[in-house]
């Protein structure tokens, strides 16, 4: 119910204007984008889809930043493990 799924905007309709087509892992469906008024939406943008409506535009830069942070954390962890291994007799 509260599960939303990320979908990629692939096309916009003009009639009515608040419909757009999203692709969710290969499945295409028309959804309503009327709740994203004022957002600059283009094909290739990702949105969170919930019960037939786009609820939020997904920020690629925020997602990248988080993944990079986790990547660095993983790296630091691997380094620590390596150092730990080397230090143990």
Partner 1 sequence: MRFVDEFRDAGKARALAARIAALCEPGRSYRFMEVCGGHTHTIYKHGIEDFLPEAVRLVHGPGCPVCVIPMGRVDDAIAIARQPDVIMTSFGDMMRVPGGQGSFFDAKAAGADIRMVYSPLDALKIARAEPGKRVVFMAIGFETTAPSTAMTVLRAAADGVDNFAVFCNHVMIIPAIKAILDSPDLRLDGFLGPGHVSAVIGCRPYEFIARDHGRPLVCAGFEPLDILQSVHLLLRQLAEGRAQVENQYSRVVPWDGNPKALRVIGEVMEPRPYFEWRGLGFISHSALRIKEAYARFDAERIFDLPGVRVADPKACQCGEVLKGVLRPWECKVFGTACTPETPIGTCMVSSEGACAAYYAFGRFSRERVREASRT
Binding region for partner 1 (CB under 8 A): 1-4, 6, 25, 32, 34-38, 46, 48, 50-53, 55-56, 58-60, 62-64, 66-67, 70-71, 73-74, 76-78
Residues in the chain: 89
Long-range contacts of 51-57 (CB under 8 A, 24+ apart): 54/7, 54/20, 54/22, 55/4
11 or 79: CB nearest partner 1: 79
In the bound complex, what is the minimum distance in angstroms from residue 4's beta carbon to partner 1?
5
In the bound complex, what is the minimum distance in angstroms from residue 26's beta carbon to partner 1?
11
34 or 43: CB nearest partner 1: 34
Strand pairing partners for 20?
12, 31
1 or 86: CB nearest partner 1: 1
- State the burial class of residue 68 (Cβ atoms within 10 Å of its Cβ: 0-12, 13-18, 19+): exposed
């Amino acid at each position: 119910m509260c599960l939303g799924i990320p979908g990629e905007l692939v096309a916009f309709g003009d009639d009515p204007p608040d419909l757009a087509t999203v692709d969710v892992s290969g499945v295409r469906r028309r959804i309503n984008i009327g709740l994203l008024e004022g957002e600059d939406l283009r094909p290739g943008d990702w949105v969170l889809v919930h019960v037939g409506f786009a609820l939020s535009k997904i920020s690629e830069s925020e997602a990248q930043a988080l993944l990079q942070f986790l990547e660095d954390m993983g790296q630091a962890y691997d380094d620590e493990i390596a150092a730990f291994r080397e230090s143990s007799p």
